[in-house]
Amino acid sequence: MSEATTSSSTASIAAEVDQLLQGLGVPRAAYTGGELLARSPITGEVVAALPQTTAAHATATIAEAHAAYQIWRNVPGPRRGELIRLLGEELRASKAELGRLVTLEVGKVPSEGAGEVQEMIDICDFAVGLSRQLYGLTIATERSEHRMMETWHPLGVVGVISAFNFPVAVWSWNAALALVCGNAVVWKPSEKTPLTALATHAIVQRALARFGDAPAGLLALLIGQRDIGEVLVDDARVPVLSATGSTAMGKAVAPRLAGRFARAILELGGNNAAIVTPSADLDLSLRGIAFAAMGTAGQRCTTLRRLFVHDSIYDTLVPQLSKVYGNVQVGDPRTAGTLVGPLIDKAAFDGMQQALAESRAAGATVHGGGRVDGIAGADAYYARPALVELREHAGPALRETFAPILYVVRYQSFEQAIEWHNAVGAGLSSSIFTLNVREAERFMSSAGSDCGIANVNIGPSGAEIGGAFGGEKETGGGREAGSDSWKAYMRRATNTINYSTALPLAQGVTFDIGN
């Protein structure tokens, strides 16, 4: 086993956070002297104390955003795209600093912190092109000398409630598309990761200053806890809400949005699985499984949590996988060679230990999973990734535990593997490792994976912005980023234009009132 310890010469994380925030242009008053304590999971230390938004201020912010939308909706799409182009430039200029802040606030290894900012840059590039491609259709009409078409219009204020594990990328997926579509955006980040939100907001302000004439309140930030998110959920001036979090959160949010006929873009739980078939390239499978299951300390919504291995290759693949689990370096993410950093907090660690205890009680063989000491203080929670060999597909494997636990089950037939794969509430991401084209095509067909993402010969984790991201069933059905996801931020109008002197009615209806 390998653990990386923090160097005693490393400067205080709080001091580095302060330096980064100052360099990015965040006023010190925004993260000092308040009641919301921000901790770094790397050491568990408090690194900032943020003043929180009041409910009254949140309501006023939404009102200002609504007024901004009424101006912004009349700005031509390509001009709106110019703001996103400038934001992309500012993100490029600040990529190193913002990526480092992601590492310090979330505990991601540096390549993942920088990769999250790269996602923001990528979605800006995508949205700039989209600003000239908000296409409607010309539709065949049954009436002579008429034209029928559809047009798309912005909706208003788009609320964004984001989760800790991707503290800035998810906001950018929504904001970039919402803005080019003509909407205003109000963002409530996770109370566990407010500092990266402050930094992003400061970067946004530089892009707005360069743009020159954007209305005040177009992009707003609310710092607070659940009660502030509820203001966004319940305000009638927020016709679209994107919420990322647990399925339990989605079950609370969705009925309230439906009650006022608002649109919900929900990105919820993901109990993701992979199938390894007899024909699979085992070396490729091993590498794909390792990243998908252990990357980000198992704290991605697309993390691989269930693995179905065919009986004929189980005794070859699983011992190799167990060896990888035993040797992977767990430690301070700032230390070279570390692949698995800390869990976000004690609650995450306790949830992991509870799931492992249930697995052992059910007769499972558990490899790893214990707390790793000697890396940081008592308030930092490092754990070895756990590989759990199950006797049957049951128990805690049927629910998502947001931690690095991979449940492994033998299967005999492909049909059995598909049935187990789909036998959970969530339906986010999935994958199959196979060189058999029939198995690959079956997995991607309507009779295969029931998830929003279905991959072949790569793991379920690590999506690109060019494809719409999201899942089915208890994952909420929302889609963000590429494809036609922009339509979620707009309303469609069907238009019929009569350029004749007659007035023919559809379906041959007559209504003659004479002269």
Q: Which residues contact 342 (CB under 8 A, 6 or more apart)?
A: 41, 42, 107, 297, 333, 375, 376, 380, 381, 382
Which is catalytic among the residues 124, 301, 439, 474? 301
Residue 348's pLDDT is 98
Mean pLDDT of the chain: 96
Tokens (6 digits) for 346: 């004690």
For the entire predicted model, the pTM comes to: 0.95
Catalytic site residue 301? yes
Alpha-carbon separation of residue 296 from 122, 304, 330 (angstroms): 20, 11, 11
Report phi then psi at 63, rounded to 5. Answer: -60, -40
Question: Which candidate, 127, 124, 84, 121, places its Cα nearest to that of 99?
Answer: 121
Mean pLDDT value of segment 84-101:
98
Which is catalytic among the residues 119, 267, 389, 474? 267
Angle of CA points 370, 376, 378, to nearest 5°: 70
Residue 514's pLDDT is 80
Mean pLDDT value of segment 474-484:
95
Residue 395's pLDDT is 96
Residue 9's pLDDT is 34
Catalytic site residue 267? yes
Judged against a pLDDT cut of 50, whether residue 8 lies above it is answered with: no
Signed CA dihedral, 399, 400, 406, 411: sign only: positive
Model confidence at 462, pLDDT cuts 50, 70, 90, reads confident
Judged against a pLDDT cut of 70, whether residue 2 lies above it is answered with: no
Distance CA 73, CA 153 (A): 8
